[in-house]
Amino acid sequence: MALETIVLGGGCFWCLEAVFQRLSGVERVVSGYAGGQTENPTYQAICSGATGHAEVVRVHYNPEQCSLAEVLDLFWRCHDPTTLNRQGADVGTQYRSIILYQGLEQKQAAETSMEGARNGFSQPIVTEISPLTRFYEAEPYHQDYYNDNKQAGYCRVVIQPKLDKLGMT
């Protein structure tokens, strides 16, 4: 069975990468940039907020082991989709909540999952659902960041507690 992919953003891509790497049926997670207008963006350009891109992950999953609905369910649980352009202390449009779909089936699944997630939040969901036009892979040092840097401050203070809360440690 061929792997399927979906591109998701919900704050720092290091967090999303660490979370989705631990979901059974996910084969690969790639950190990157998408949703903006600048071609071939760099991390420094993304941080300026001028590119329009968000920090995202491309989740490669085996649909025989993990459904798109399961991937999207974890997406809603692993970040706060009610905060506009921020997750915790990470602030800016590059940290926005976004689902970048490929095709009508993914668009409908994203919209359905968002509708189902609404009851779990006291504030309105502000997640953007848009077509994926281009995914740019982030620089190599961003890939597999948590697994390679578990003792780094951000990993210990932000990512590890998130994994603990989700029962993924």
Query: In the numeric block, which tokens belong to residue 144?
Result: 């597999």
Catalytic residue annotation: 12
- Residue 8, SS3? strand
Phi-psi region of 143 (alpha: psi -120 to 50; beta: other; left: phi over 0): beta
* CA gap 74, 80 in Å, rounded: 12
Taking CA atoms, 75 is separated from 43, 70, 83, 159, in Å, by: 23, 9, 14, 15
Alpha helices in 78-119 (DSSP H): 104-117
Query: In the numeric block, which tokens belong to residue 110?
Result: 């994203």
* CA gap 161, 15 in Å, rounded: 10
Neighbours of 69 (CB within 10 A): 12
